[in-house]
Amino acid sequence: MLNQKIQEGMAGITGRGSYPNELMFVCTDLNVGGTERQLVALAVALVRLGWPISVYSLAGSGPLQAELESGGVTVVLPPMNRSHAGTSRLKRIFAFCVAVPHLTFSMLKRRPAIIHFLLPEAYLVGAPIAGLARIQIKVMSRRSLNLYQTNGLVRRFEYWLHRSMSAVLGNSLSVISELRGEKVQSRRLGLIYNGIDVSAFSKFNARQAQRESLGIAPDSFVMCMVANLIAYKGHRDLLDALGRTARELPAKWHLFLVGRDDGIGAQLQEQAERLGIRKNISFLGSRSDIPSLLAASDLALLCSHQEGFANAILEGMAAGLPMVVTDVGGNAEAVINGETGFVVPAHNPDRLADAILRLAKDPSMRSAFGAAARRRVNEHFTMERCVVAHDQLYRKLLAGGVPGDMAEIAVAEPHPAT
C-alpha cells in the first residue's frame, strides 16, 4: 500500500485514467537479481498508475516472468530461450542472434512511446535498434559502476549511444559521477535511488520460528548476507574475516549466505572447511523469504568490490538491522557510518572483521543502529518514492522536458576545483 504522503502526491496522477502511451522496458533476463527485482516492483506499480507496460527480456523467460504477468505487465520474449542452465555456448549465441531481429520486430509492432533500457547488454543491443525504429523517447538506467567497460570499442560505442538518450539515470552519486565522466549532459542526467516495499520487512515476527526451521539456536548471533555467489560480491573476504575472528565471536554464531550460485559455491564451501567455520554457515541458495531470514538475523552484511546501489542493503535496513558494508558505489550513500552501521574498505578482511566484532559484542549498539537504519529507509528509500520519480520523469519526457527540469532528480553541475 502507498503511504499517505505519497498517495497525496499521486492523487492528480491516478485520477486521470489510463495513459495512451506504452512504456517498454528492455532487460537482459528475468532471473532473480537486484535489478530484475527492482524492475518487477517498478513495472507492476506503474501498471497500477495506468501505464501500459511491456517488458522485453533478451535472454527469454525466467523466474520473475509470472510475477510480472500477474501484475498486469505484458512480457515479450524472443523465440528461443538462452537463460536455461545447461544451454550450450553455441545455442546461446544462436538464440541471441534470433533475439535481435525479434526485438526489432517487437519495437516496430508495438511502437512504444518510451523505451527504457536496463543493464549493459540490453542497452548495447536495444538502443541502436530503437534508433532505427525511430522511437523518440529513450531512457537508459546505469545500475552499476562502469568497471565492465574493459573493451575500448564497447566503451566508445556506449559513449556514442548516450548522445541519443532522452534521459540517462543513475541510482547513486557514484554512478552519476561516472556518467558525467562519460560526457552525458547534465540536463539529461537524473538520480533516482532504488526503492523497496518497506511493509514487506516490517510485518515479520518470525525470528524464533525461522531459526528453528534452520536448526539455529535461539540465543545464536546470526549474520546474513544476501548476494548471488559471484566473485565480486566479496564472499571470500567475508569468510576470511570470520576465520580470523571466529574465536572472539559469540560461541553460538551463524552466517546465512543467501543467493544463487553463479559458479563459486563449491570454492566458498572449501574455503569455509579450510578455515574451520563450515559448521557455522548455511548456504541457502535463492530464497523467496528474505524478509523472514532477515527477521531471524542480528546483523546484515554486503562485502562487495563493486556496486551501483544495492537493494540488499536497503532490505537489511528496512528489517531494522545494523549494516556492515564496503565503501564502493552507493553503499556509503545508504549506510551512514557510525549511525546505521559501519562502512569499511573493500578487499580488507581485517577491517571487516573489526566491524563485525564490534557489533557482535554490543547488543545496544546493534539496536540503536538498527532503529536508525529503519528510519533512514522509511525517509529516503521507499518504493513509493522510486515509483513517483519514474512516473513524473516519463510524463516530463512525453511533454518534451528533460531530467534537468525536475528538481527531484536533477543533478547539479559540480563545482570547479579551486
pLDDT digits (tens), the chain, 418 positions: 444 444 444 443 333 334 458 999 999 999 888 899 999 999 999 999 999 999 999 999 999 999 999 999 999 999 999 876 567 889 889 999 999 999 999 999 999 999 999 999 999 999 999 999 999 999 999 998 887 777 888 889 999 999 999 999 999 999 999 999 999 999 999 999 999 999 888 766 678 888 888 888 999 999 999 999 999 999 999 999 999 999 999 999 999 999 999 999 999 999 999 999 999 999 999 998 899 999 999 999 999 999 989 999 999 999 999 999 999 999 999 999 999 999 999 999 999 999 999 999 999 999 999 999 999 999 999 999 999 999 999 999 999 999 999 999 998 766 554 3
**What pLDDT is stored for residue 385 in this prediction?**
95
User: Does one domain contain both 203 and 293?
Assistant: yes
Domain range enclosing 294: 199-380
129 part of a folded domain: yes
Q: Are 178 and 146 in contact (CB under 8 A)?
A: yes
How far is it, in rounded angstroms, from Cα 106 to Cα 94?
A: 19
Between vectors from CA 3 to CA 74 and to CA 1, what angle results, nearest 5°? 40
Question: Could you tell me the CA-to-CA distances from 243 to 17, 111, 246, 280, 351 in Å, in that order?
Answer: 58, 56, 5, 11, 13
State pTM to two decimals: 0.85
Based on the fold, state whether residues 204 and 146 are members of the same structural domain.
Answer: no
Which positions ≥6 away from 224 have C-beta within 8 Å?
Answer: 255, 256, 258, 293, 294, 296, 297, 299, 300, 301, 316, 321
Say if residue 142 is in the same domain as residue 261: no
Whether residue 218 is found in the same domain as residue 344:
yes
Residues 6+ apart with CB under 8 A from 241: 303, 349, 350, 352, 353, 356
Q: How far apart are CA 10 and CA 202, in angstroms?
A: 23
Cα–chain center distance at 172: 11
CA–CA dist 316, 295 (Å, integer):
9
Whether residue 220 sits in one domain with residue 189? no
The reply to whether 252 and 392 lie within a common domain is no
Residues 374 and 390 in one domain: no
Domain final residue pick, 347, 364, 380: 380
Task: Based on the fold, state whether residues 31 and 149 are members of the same structural domain.
Answer: yes
Phi, psi (rounded to 5 degrees) for 271 = -65, -45
* Shared domain check, 255 and 163: no
Report the C-alpha gap between 191 and 406 in whole angstroms: 10
Helix (H/G/I), strand (E/B), else coil: 250: coil
Provide the number of structural domains found in the chain: 2
Strands (E) in 7-160, as ranges, are 23-27, 53-57, 74-76, 114-118, 137-142
Q: Which amino acid is at 338?
A: G
Indicate the residue among 380, 396, 413 that finishes a domain.
380
> CATH number, domain at 301?
3.40.50.2000
- 356 falls within a domain: yes
DSSP string, 387-413: HHHHHHHHHHHHTT--GGG-TTTB-PP
Q: What does the block give as the cell for 3?
A: 503511504
Whether 201 and 315 have beta carbons less than 8 Å apart is answered as: yes
CB atoms within 10 A of CB 332: 16
Phi, psi of 25 (to 5 degrees): -95, 140
Instruction: Single out the residue of 255, 234, 111, 194 nearest to residue 389, CA to CA.
Output: 194
- Count of Cβ atoms closer than 10 Å to residue 405 Cβ: 14
Q: Looking at the structure, do residues 221 and 345 belong to the same domain, yes or no?
A: yes
Strand partners, 196: 382
Are the C-beta atoms of 186 and 404 separated by less than 8 Å? yes
Residue 410 lies in a domain: no
- Same domain? For 228 and 333 the reply is yes
Q: Flag whether 14 is in a domain.
A: yes
Asked whether residue 277 is assigned to any structural domain, the reply reads yes
CB–CB of 61/83 below 8 Å? yes
On whether residue 364 sits in a domain, the answer given is yes
Q: Crossing angle for the helix pair 235-245 and 349-360, nearest 10 degrees?
A: 60
In a domain, 418, yes or no: no
pLDDT of residue 88: 84
Rounded to 5°, the CA angle 141-142-146 comes to 160
The three-point CA angle 72-382-76 to 5° equals 25
Same domain as 394, residue 250: no
